[in-house]
């Protein structure tokens, strides 16, 4: 027994799940308390070290999330929307901080997290990296300084496995641009142009999603006016940046009052 917070990673076999497990194992501030995969996955029951192709770690992959959460202080969850909603209820029941990196959640799915946030600390962000959260603040500032003569476009690129578009990060950047402009993103978002779209509507915030190869995650916020352009850019080349941010959030959440938080709160930006 140590006094380091015990962390459970859900979606253990996923791209982020494996990165998160490595990050927790390398940390001297936290311990790996458990790993969860979905029922029927062939990793369930195996030692996580062996499943990941290394030495045994003495932590078995389980599909019993509540049992795993009950032995931990925080859950880091980069899975899928319906799984994340179910985990939010179990994390609240177990009294764990719930760090959510899952993207592609509808407004109704995000609202379904509210009851859990009344009982526990829930930190959710479409991007857990320091760089992107700084970019969010810069985007808000630049959008506030410019008028509608500057067309705002958010362009993102990701690997070919990604299932949701626009990315969670693109939506964070779009929200920041809209907030800077003093408008609601839902009123001005232009997503998925195709065919005879008509000319661009002044004040719209456009989104473009590129999918290909192994791109980790790239985001541009373009402010384009007659005669000049400003581009704010973040390029992720290593998923470790998301995992480090998520672990920071899990540690930050210890002892905090129940509620819904984001990475701007965690990073104090």
Ligand X SMILES: O=C(O)C1=N[C@H](C(=O)O)C[C@H](O)C1
Q: Which residues are catalytic?
A: 158, 162
Residue nearer to ligand X on the CB measure, 75 or 154: 154
Looking at the DSSP bridge assignments, the partners of residue 75 are: 8, 98
Query: Six-digit token pair at 182?
Result: 């003093």
H, E, C per residue of 73-88: CEEEECCCHHHHHHHH
CB atoms within 10 A of CB 173: 32
Indicate which of ligand NAI, ligand X, none lies near residue 83 (CB less than 5 to 8 Å, by partner kind): ligand NAI
By the rule CB under 6 A, 13 interacts with ligand NAI? yes
Residue 96: partners with Cβ closer than 8 Å, 6 or more residues away: 8, 69, 72, 73, 74, 75, 120
Q: Which residues, numbered 156-185, are part of the site for ligand X (CB under 6 A)? A: 158, 162, 167-169
30 to 59: interface string for ligand NAI, x by CB under 6 A? ------xxx--x------------------
Residues 87 and 98 sit within 8 Å (Cβ to Cβ)? yes
- 223: helix, strand or coil: strand
By the rule CB under 6 A, 245 interacts with ligand X? no
By the rule CB under 6 A, 126 interacts with ligand X? yes
Q: Cis ω on the peptide bond leading into residue 138 (within 30° of 0)?
A: no
Residue nearest to ligand NAI (CB): 14
> Cα 163–224–152 angle (5° rounding)?
40
Q: How many H-runs (helices) and E-runs (strands) does the chain carry?
A: 11, 12
223 to 262: interface string for ligand NAI, x by CB under 6 A? -------------------x--------------------
Task: List the 61-62 sheet strands across, edge first.
Answer: 61-62, 31-36, 6-10, 74-77, 97-100, 121-124, 259-261
By the rule CB under 6 A, 134 interacts with ligand NAI? no
By the rule CB under 6 A, 102 interacts with ligand X? no
Annotated ligand binding at 2? The verdict is no
Residue nearer to ligand X on the CB measure, 140 or 162: 162
Give the binding range for ligand NAI (CB under 6 A) out of 23-31, 49-57, 73-81, 112-120: 73-81
Q: Which of 11, 34, 174, 217 binds ligand X (CB under 6 A)?
A: 217
Residue nearer to ligand X on the CB measure, 150 or 219: 219
Question: Which spans of this chain sit near ligand X (rule: CB under 6 A)?
Answer: 103, 126-127, 158, 162, 167-169, 217
Residue list for the binding site for (S)-2,3,4,5-tetrahydrodipicolinate: 159, 168-169
């Amino acid at each position: 027994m140590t006094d380091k917070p015990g962390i459970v990673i859900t979606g253990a076999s996923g791209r982020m799940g494996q990165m998160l497990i490595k990050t927790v194992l390398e940390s001297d501030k936290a311990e790996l308390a458990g790993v969860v995969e979905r029922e029927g996955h062939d990793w369930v029951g195996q030692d996580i070290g062996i499943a990941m192709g290394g030495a045994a770690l003495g932590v078995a992959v389980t599909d019993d999330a509540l049992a795993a959460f009950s032995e931990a202080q925080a859950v880091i969850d980069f899975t899928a929307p319906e799984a994340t909603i179910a985990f939010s209820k179990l994390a609240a029941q177990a009294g764990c901080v719930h760090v959510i990196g899952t993207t592609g959640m509808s407004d109704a799915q995000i609202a379904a997290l509210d009851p859990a946030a009344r009982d526990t600390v829930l930190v959710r962000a479409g991007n857990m990296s320091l760089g992107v959260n700084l970019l969010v603040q810069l985007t808000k500032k630049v959008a506030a300084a410019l008028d509608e003569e500057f067309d705002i476009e958010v362009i993102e690129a990701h690997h070919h496995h990604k299932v949701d578009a626009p990315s969670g990060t693109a939506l964070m950047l779009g929200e920041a641009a809209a907030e800077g402009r003093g408008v609601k993103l839902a009123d001005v978002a232009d997503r998925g142009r195709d065919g005879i779209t008509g000319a661009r509507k002044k004040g719209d915030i456009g989104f473009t999603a590129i999918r290909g190869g192994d791109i980790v995650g790239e985001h541009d916020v373009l402010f384009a006016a007659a005669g000049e352009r400003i581009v704010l850019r973040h390029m992720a080349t290593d998923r470790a940046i998301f995992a480090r941010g998520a672990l920071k959030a899990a540690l930050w959440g210890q002892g905090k009052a129940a509620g819904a938080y984001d990475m701007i709160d965690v990073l104090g930006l």
